[in-house]
Amino acid sequence: MTTQNALITGASRGLGLALARALAHKGWQLIIDARGVEALEEVHDELIQHTKVIAIPGDVSEKMHRKRLAYAAKELGGLDALVNNAGILGPSPQPNLIDYPIDILADVYHINVLAPLGLLQAVQEHFRPHPRIINISSDAGAEAYPGWGGYGSSKAALEHLSAVLVTEQPDWHIFWVDPGDMRTQMHQEAFPGEDIRDRPEPEDSVPGLLALLENPPPSGRYVAKEIIEATLK
């Protein structure tokens, strides 16, 4: 059986790290990235005990970094999966749209929308047949919440981008996924000063992502919790 290869962005903490750990224990070979060099090195040293891991620090919004990731995909022998997990919240606390600094909103869109597409463009020639692409979204990308217009609209744009890709790339499995509330640094930034210890750990959402990667259903929008509940029936 051919070894499966995956590229996961934003893999030094939170959901990206939880998914990388799960795939490493299943024998997937990994390319991981994150902006924090030391944190990424620690993850590499942990996961290398279980599988081959290529860790490349950098910002996925930068073209040269995406080229480095694409070269690593080639060296690994191709990709079976790409998980666009890296993203930013924007200002904390979140401002209303009427007061949102446009230059900062442009950065949010650059990282949350344009970077995932740019990475797809960079690695597309290294995809193995029928690749699986997961673009991590949010309920804020589908519902209108006051104070979430910047982040939410960027995720809505990512979701529509994903839907268009489905029509253009029928041989790809493309999923845009709401992982649900999680106890992560980004979630804490979204609710500054609040106690978020009641939120589920990122690991709780991982089985839903694994189901999409291992037994891909039709392309589309999914909620991790609903996938997990369906598998338990």
Q: Which residues carry out catalysis? A: 137-138, 151, 155
Count CB-CB contacts under 10 A for residue 209. 28
Q: At what angle do helices 224-232 and 206-214 cross, to 10 degrees?
A: 80
CA 81 to CA 175: how far, in whole Å?
A: 11
CA 209 to CA 11: how far, in whole Å?
A: 14
Cα 126 to chain centroid, rounded: 19
Count CB-CB contacts under 10 A for residue 120. 22
Q: Whose CA is closest to 121, among 173, 77, 60, 171?
A: 60
User: What is the β-pairing status of strands 173-178 and 79-84?
Assistant: unpaired
How far CA 65 is from CA of 56, 73, 75, 78, in Å, comes to 8, 13, 15, 18
Do residues 173 and 216 lie in contact, with contact meaning Cβ atoms separated by under 8 Å? yes
Q: Is the dihedral of CA 14, 20, 24, 26 positive or negative?
A: positive
What does the DSSP 8-state code read for residue 112? Answer: I
